[in-house]
A and B are shown apart, each in its own frame.
Chain A
Amino acid sequence: MKLNVLLSILMGASAALAQQPDQPPNVRHVIGLESVKLNANGHLTIQNGVMQFTTKKTEAKVPASSIEEVFVGTEMTQSGGTAGKVVKTAAIAAPFGSGKALTLLMRTKVDILTVVFRGADGGVHGAIFALQKGQAEPTRTQLVAAGAHTSAPQTELKDRTKP
């Protein structure tokens, strides 16, 4: 009897966990949002016609209607964050250049999303985000669906933003 109760509690808990809303993917703000620190990590969401970037401390909102261009590109970057940088720097001292092998291992390809928009004063802003590989294109599609403008078709954009 007790086992049945325990099982039902466990099943209920797992179901509750499974029903949690999907957490938006982690995104790095490279530059461009004035209220957000450079290289701050946060979540990028698009809801009710507004693009919102939220970190633990701050948030920035951009109306999709003010977005004039969205570009997608790629960039190779250092994996492992700050710890990764420390490890790689320490590896430089490794004998016979063996630390260079780490250079090959500790890297990851990220998508770069460039969102060009106009502020209330008419000034041009270029917000640049680094996303997990394969996530920039769906985000771009979401932005366009929310009302963002873009002058060039998707395929042309891909050509223009070479990896």
Chain B
Amino acid sequence: MKISLGLFLMLAAAALVLAQKPAAPAEKLHASAIQIELTDVGDISIPAEFRYAIYERLIEQVRDSRLFGKVYRSGDKAAAGVPDLVTLHTSLEAFDEGSQMKRELAPVAMGSTKVDVTAQVTSKDGKTLLNQKVAGKVRIFGENLGATNDLAKRITKLLQASF
């Protein structure tokens, strides 16, 4: 009886180990082109230059990454003819302009500029392929607008991990 119980426990443990084997890595998405939309700011107050800097930095960073054969701007008519086009949407979640002077006087403790967005990639039929919160920051040196560059880099990394 003791032996059969021990055997049973061993078999159960082996089955558990097999069941816990690492999951296969998620399949990468594929698209020949991406269209980048302007950030939806909703009701959050943000200076216009930040909104357009996020957009322009994203276009620059995604182009430089060479993940996609073509990167289309918002409103580009040519994008409509691409069958496997994906679209990158960003929605502003929070914004703190911070202060360059404060963060240089008391680094990290105060004055950080923060831009939080939700980045979403959708297919042409409207299906959500990717949805994640991303934050861009300037903690010590640099102009406040530098947070848009940090944000664009992080979103591009997210795309690189998924495409």
Closest to A119 in B: B73
Main SS class of interface, A: strand
Instruction: State whether A100 and B105 are in contact (beta carbons under 8 Å apart), knowing that A31-B53, A31-B56, A123-B73 are contacts in the complex.
Output: yes
Which residues from 101 to 138 on chain A have a C-beta closer than 8 Å to any C-beta of chain B?
103-104, 107, 112, 114, 116, 118-119, 121-126, 128
A69, A107, A123: residue with the most chain B Cβ atoms closer than 10 Å: A123
- Whether B49 and A114, one on each chain, are in contact in the complex, defined by CB atoms closer than 8 angstroms, is yes
- Whether B75 and A122, one on each chain, are in contact in the complex, defined by CB atoms closer than 8 angstroms, is yes
- Whether B77 and A121, one on each chain, are in contact in the complex, defined by CB atoms closer than 8 angstroms, is yes
- Whether A32 and B56, one on each chain, are in contact in the complex, defined by CB atoms closer than 8 angstroms, is yes
- Whether A71 and B77, one on each chain, are in contact in the complex, defined by CB atoms closer than 8 angstroms, is no
- Whether A124 and B47, one on each chain, are in contact in the complex, defined by CB atoms closer than 8 angstroms, is no
A-B contact count (CB 8 A): 86
**Contact mask for chain B residues 109-125; partner A; CB cutoff 8 A; 1 contact, 0 none:** 00000000000000000
Distance in angstroms from B97 CB to nearest chain A CB is: 8
B40 interface residue per 8 A CB criterion? no
B154 interface residue per 8 A CB criterion? no
Closest to A85 in B: B141
A77 interface residue per 8 A CB criterion? yes
Chain B residues within 8 Å of A118, by CB: 75
Complex CA gap A69/B77 in Å reads 20
Which residues from 90 to 104 on chain B have a C-beta closer than 8 Å to any C-beta of chain A?
97, 99-101, 104
Checking A31, A100, A107, A125 against B57 with a beta-carbon cut-off of 8 angstroms, the contacting residue is A31
Known contacts A76-B144, A114-B52; 4 additional CB pairs below 8 A are A69-B48, A103-B101, A112-B49, A124-B75
What residues make up the interface of B, taking CB atoms closer than 8 Å to A? 38, 45, 47-49, 51-53, 55-57, 60, 72-78, 97, 99-101, 104-105, 143-145
Q: Can you list 29 pairs linking A and B with CB atoms under 8 Å apart?
A: A30-B145, A31-B60, A32-B52, A32-B56, A69-B48, A73-B47, A73-B48, A75-B49, A76-B100, A76-B143, A78-B143, A100-B105, A103-B104, A119-B76, A121-B73, A121-B76, A122-B77, A123-B72, A123-B73, A123-B76, A124-B55, A124-B75, A125-B56, A126-B52, A126-B53, A128-B53, A160-B47, A161-B47, A162-B97
10 closest A-B pairs by CB: A126-B52, A123-B73, A71-B48, A123-B76, A103-B104, A31-B56, A122-B77, A124-B74, A161-B47, A114-B49
